Amino acid sequence: MSAPDAILLEAVDAACHFDVSAPLITRIVERRPRRILKAVDGVSFQVRRGRTFSVVGESGCGKSTLARLVVGLERPTSGSIRLHDVPDAEGRPRRPRLQMIFQDPYASLNPRWRVEDIVAEPLVELGLVTGAAAISARVRALLGLVGLAASDAAKFPHEFSGGQRQRISIARALATEADLLVCDEPTSALDVSVQAQVLNLMRQLQAELGLTYLFISHNLSVVRHLSDDIAVMYLGRFVESGPADAVFTTPRHPYSRLLIETVPDVEAPNRDRAPMAGEVPNPIDRPAGCAFASRCPQVEPACRLAPPPLVAVDADTRVACRLVPARADAAGPVAAMVP
């Protein structure tokens, strides 16, 4: 149970659909069908404790909805998202705590609260620390941990830069003593130099505190340096998942290949890049076959008939593509493999 790579978060065929139909009367009068937006459409993965699991994909692919599902802001329409108990200080199992680090450092802190109150809120709400002096001391310690001064506690969020605000966000998340931090594009609103600072801080905190990250991003270079495992998401489904190194060095799905090819590389300038053509299909009206068929350079007529299942192609990597040969001994869909 307390093994370092015990599973903390497990999603089994999780889906989140939104009803975006017109109001009932309009629908009856104009004879329009219900419209269901399948933001997340059957996703399975496991996050092991102390590791970083990253989900990459372009905007609108459902990765933020996945993050909201994990923290419980949305309920899965079908499938399940389970958190496995973690041992507490005395070794008894308890429910793991979660917190989220958001994309917009300007909206994620209440503008009318002082930093000390923002960071203290989880301490007070969860009853982790009692007594004004103890809370104040803990807040200062947390601010120190994320590289802010103790005197910053009395300031308001508008007195800080974007990177500093993201540090406050991280301090608030750490205050929950969270086991799992769900980071929804935590650096995409920041300057590149500040991005590196925040990412380094996150890695350092993971090493010190044994945090587990579920990292959502569209930025592959950010993901590469932080992740143990990675999943590439396209239109609500995973098209490839596996260890980060394997996915980056030998991407198998045509979409992963295209994504990784678009990453700028100082050592190989003036590469011949295959430009990504076509549009992402409408998640309300999914195509019958492979969702990527409309943009895939290697598309075959058979691709448009049925969606390819996510199947294991070697020990750790799974790919959802007809053209990638499945591992001989485990050709079944992934749902069958999850215990």
- Residues facing 53 on adjacent strands: 214, 229
Least distance (Å) between residue 179 CB and other proteins: 13
The answer to whether 45 touches 71, Cβ cutoff 8 Å, is no
Q: Which of 36, 58, 77, 136 binds other proteins (CB under 8 A)?
A: 136
Based on the shown chain and the rule CB under 8 A, indicate whether residue 24 belongs to the binding site for other proteins: no
Q: Which of 23, 112, 271, 329 binds other proteins (CB under 8 A)?
A: 112
Q: Which is nearer to other proteins, 144 or 325 (CB)?
A: 144
Eight-class DSSP state of 21: P
Least distance (Å) between residue 136 CB and other proteins: 4
The answer to whether 38 touches 236, Cβ cutoff 8 Å, is yes
- CB atoms under 10 Å from CB of 263, counted, come to 12
Q: Which is nearer to other proteins, 106 or 337 (CB)?
A: 106
Q: Which region, judged by CB under 8 A, interacts with other proteins, from 125-133, 205-213, 260-268, 300-308? A: 125-133
Least distance (Å) between residue 54 CB and other proteins: 20
Query: In degrees rounded to 5, what are phi and psi of residue 190?
Result: -110, 160
Based on the shown chain and the rule CB under 8 A, indicate whether residue 73 belongs to the binding site for other proteins: yes
Based on the shown chain and the rule CB under 8 A, indicate whether residue 228 belongs to the binding site for other proteins: no
Based on the shown chain and the rule CB under 8 A, indicate whether residue 168 belongs to the binding site for other proteins: no
Q: Which region, judged by CB under 8 A, interacts with other proteins, from 103-111, 196-204, 208-216, 314-322? A: 103-111
Based on the shown chain and the rule CB under 8 A, indicate whether residue 230 belongs to the binding site for other proteins: no
Kindly tell me the sign of the dihedral angle through the C-alpha atoms of 241, 244, 247, 248.
positive
Least distance (Å) between residue 51 CB and other proteins: 21
Q: Which is nearer to other proteins, 123 or 205 (CB)?
A: 123
Q: Which region, judged by CB under 8 A, interacts with other proteins, from 40-48, 50-58, 120-128, 278-286? A: 120-128
Pairing of strands 237-243, 318-319: antiparallel
Q: Which of 121, 228, 261, 314 binds other proteins (CB under 8 A)?
A: 121
- CB atoms under 10 Å from CB of 160, counted, come to 19
How many distinct helices (H) and strands (E) make up the chain? 9, 13
**Spatial CA neighbour of 203 closest among 222, 188, 185, 216:** 222
DSSP per-residue string spanning 63-99: HHHHHHHHHTSS--SEEEEEE--EE-TTS-EEPPPEE
Binding mask 172-191 for other proteins (x = CB under 8 A): x---x---------------
Token pair of 147 as six digits: 């590289």
Based on the shown chain and the rule CB under 8 A, indicate whether residue 46 belongs to the binding site for other proteins: no
Q: Which of 20, 126, 276, 331 binds other proteins (CB under 8 A)?
A: 126
Q: Which of 1, 3, 24, 133 binds other proteins (CB under 8 A)?
A: 133
Helical spans, DSSP H, in the chain: 24-30, 63-71, 115-125, 132-145, 162-175, 192-209, 220-226, 244-249, 254-261
Based on the shown chain and the rule CB under 8 A, indicate whether residue 167 belongs to the binding site for other proteins: no
Q: Which of 142, 153, 239, 334 binds other proteins (CB under 8 A)?
A: 153
Least distance (Å) between residue 73 CB and other proteins: 6
The answer to whether 232 touches 256, Cβ cutoff 8 Å, is yes
**Could you tell me which residues come within 8 angstroms of residue 60 by beta carbon, excluding any fewer than 6 positions away?**
280, 283
Q: Which is nearer to other proteins, 107 or 337 (CB)?
A: 107
Single-letter code of the amino acid located at 90? E
Q: Which residues of this chain interact with other proteins, rule CB under 8 A?
A: 71-73, 98-100, 102-104, 107-112, 114, 116, 118, 120-122, 125-126, 132-133, 135-136, 153-154, 169, 172, 176
